[in-house]
Structure 1
Amino acid sequence: MSKTTKTINEVRHAIENRRTVKKFKKDPVPTEQIIDLLDTAVWAPNHKLREPWRFVLFNGKGRKKLAEAIEAEMGEDNKFSASVQQVPAILLVVLEEDPRQAIWDEDFAAVSAMVQNFMLAAWSENIGTFWVTKPFLYAPKFRKPLGIKAGEKIIGMIYMGYPDVIPSAKERTPAKEKLTLFE
């Protein structure tokens, strides 16, 4: 097997075997390792190299700041503020929005590709991830204390840590069943 074939097979293997992890061990994920993974993730395709993303990381004691922002919006009696303090690290991925629809669409796609890159890179280092979106991500009471400005969209929260449980694969619909082909 050639080196190129082996690399292609490794990429396909990573894509097909990555899982969404919701149960993590308590072990911390080093900040430097997360930054290194982000440095890999930003190689995502993005039109004219606009790099329309930024990140807010909550690691270690910093998770309390995220919990407090959730409580500011939802009150102290909610399941999310307690749960984020149990996840080893949480990354907010923020899109710098452009008012031009075509550019907004391109940038959203680029940020989504970057998130997938991050999740695959993390998986390659035995770090599980879970891409989370919640209504409170839009709330000013949540956004303001975290420095999320008008004109920015939180694409999601990426929970990450070393997997305690790796879920089994769920069947996917073969692409052929969703393909319209003109030959």
Structure 2
Amino acid sequence: MHLQEGLLTRRTIYKFKKDSIDPAIIQRALESAVHAPNHKMTQPWHFYVLQREAKTKLAQRKKEMKWEGFLDKESDHAKKAGEAAYEYINDLPAVIVVTAHRYSVDPVREREDYAAVCCAVENFMLALWSEGVGSKWSTGGLVNDGEIHNIIGAGEEESAAAVLYVGYPSEIPKRQQRNVEESITWVDETEYPG
């Protein structure tokens, strides 16, 4: 797959097959990830590839977080939502948590490093896609939950940036139309310079 094709065809995958992924594919994607641009070669990322026990702990935490959102935690709806969240994560072929180094004394460096981590995540996802493996980049509840550090064994100097759900797609969402012209302004040109 050519790079441009990967950029234009990659989709966020929500439904995954349970088929296992060859660890060599994950390793190649990680190799691509760490070649992301980063200011001053800080390489501010760390990728935690969760194995069985850690993945189960993460699934359990997601289940608890679902329950916390319900007033009646014993209701059938709360129980089903919690179990669905647990099964979704626990059944995934791979889960990767990505952290960024934290620099509380230098907010500019912290921002630059977070941007570099995002580039690394995108490289990782595109490398997977080039091998037919899909992914979903989650930045929601688990990323902002302090318990994730205990689950993965991250240090105090790390901040969770992404939870990546990885597997072969059981369905690929249709591409949503995007108007590139609405996102571009050519400065000091009256029209497209090409």
- Please classify the TM superposition score into its range, dividing by the shorter chain length: 0.7 to 0.9
User: Which deviates more from structure 2 when the two are superposed, residues 36-45 or residues 63-72?
Assistant: 63-72
Deviation (angstroms), 1:38: 0.2
Tell me what 2:100 maps to: 95
Residue 180, structure 1, aligned to residue 185, structure 2: yes
Matches within 5 A, 1:27-42: 27-42=19-34
Question: Any conservation in 1 of the 2:25–2:131 contact (CA below 8 Å)?
Answer: no
Tell me what 1:47 maps to: 39
Tell me what 1:147 maps to: 153
TM-score norm. by structure 1 comes to 0.84
Tell me what 1:124 maps to: 130
User: Which deviates more from structure 2 when the two are superposed, residues 76-85 or residues 90-99?
Assistant: 76-85
Identical positions, percent: 32
Aligned to 1:160, the other structure's residue is in SS state strand
Question: Any conservation in 1 of the 2:54–2:152 contact (CA below 8 Å)?
Answer: no
Q: Of residues 56, 60, 64 in structure 1, which corresponds to 2:56?
A: 64
Assess, with a 3 A threshold, how the Cα gap between structure 1 residues 86 and 103 changes in structure 2: closer, same or farther: same
Q: Of residues 113, 121, 141 in structure 1, which corresponds to 2:119?
A: 113
Deviation (angstroms), 1:84: 0.2
Structure whose CA Rg is larger: 2
**Unaligned runs of at least 5 residues, structure 2:** 69-78, 189-194
Counterpart Cα distance in 1 of 2:4 and 2:96: 25
Assess, with a 3 A threshold, how the Cα gap between structure 1 residues 140 and 73 changes in structure 2: closer, same or farther: farther
Assess, with a 3 A threshold, how the Cα gap between structure 1 residues 71 and 21 changes in structure 2: closer, same or farther: closer
Q: Of residues 75, 80, 87 in structure 2, which corresponds to 1:82?
A: 87
Question: Any conservation in 2 of the 1:67–1:80 contact (CA below 8 Å)?
Answer: yes
Q: Of residues 11, 14, 18 in structure 1, which corresponds to 2:6?
A: 14
Question: Any conservation in 2 of the 1:127–1:163 contact (CA below 8 Å)?
Answer: yes
Q: How many residues align?
A: 174
Assess, with a 3 A threshold, how the Cα gap between structure 1 residues 33 and 22 changes in structure 2: closer, same or farther: same
